[in-house]
């Protein structure tokens, strides 16, 4: 079992719809969770981070965390073609306080006009 799992997609949604991206992780000790967006040929860009169970909203983005189920998700409301990218989920290993991150393989999102 991979430490951080994401469906590679592609996930295709129409413009204006809600895109839902999911991620599961195996380390129950993980405390910090991150979503990065990566455009083709570019480096990842931090979108959101979440530390506590529940929802965290920032503009059109909402991160949801459920530690009991070891599940974190990212919702993108009013999806735009410019949101088309690969979304990487990352978690901190429970045993580490150095900032080390474990990344999932990423989900490719396609927003069709």
Partner 1 sequence: GAVVSQHPSWVICKSGTSVKIECRSLDFQATTMFWYRQFPKQSLMLMATSNEGSKATYEQGVEKDKFLINHASLTLSTLTVTSAHPEDSSFYICSAPPQDRVHEQYFGPGTRLTVT
Mask 46-65, x = binds partner 1 (CB under 8 A)? x--x----------------
Q: Are 31 and 96 in contact (CB under 8 A)?
A: no
Closest separation in Å from C-beta 106 to partner 1? 5
| Nearest C-alpha neighbor of 109 from the set 37, 59, 48 | 37
49 exposed, middle or buried (CB, 10 Å; 0-12, 13-18, 19+)? middle
Task: Write down the least CB distance from residue 110 to partner 1, Å.
Answer: 15
Applying CB under 8 A, what is the total number of residues that bind partner 1? Answer: 22
Between residues 50 and 76, which has the closer beta carbon with respect to partner 1?
50
Q: How far is the CB of 41 from partner 1 (least distance, A)?
A: 8
Q: Does 1 bind partner 1 (CB under 8 A)?
A: no
Do strands 11-14 and 19-25 pair parallel, antiparallel, or not at all (unpaired)? unpaired
* Choices 11-19, 40-48, 60-68, 74-82; region in contact with partner 1 by CB under 8 A: 40-48
Residue 91 corresponds to which tokens in the numbers above?
Answer: 């978690």
The 8-class DSSP code of residue 3 comes to S
84 binds partner 1 (CB under 8 A): no
């Amino acid at each position: 079992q991979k430490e951080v799992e994401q469906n590679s997609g592609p996930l295709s949604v129409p413009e204006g719809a809600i895109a839902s991206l999911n991620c599961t992780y195996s380390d129950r000790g993980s405390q910090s969770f991150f979503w990065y967006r990566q455009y083709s040929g570019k480096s990842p860009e931090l979108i959101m981070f979440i530390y506590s169970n529940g929802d965290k909203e920032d503009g059109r983005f909402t991160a949801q965390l459920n530690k009991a189920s070891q599940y974190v998700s990212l919702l993108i409301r009013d999806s735009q073609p410019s949101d088309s990218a690969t979304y990487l989920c990352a978690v901190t290993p429970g045993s580490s306080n150095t900032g080390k991150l474990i990344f999932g393989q990423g989900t490719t999102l396609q927003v069709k006009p």
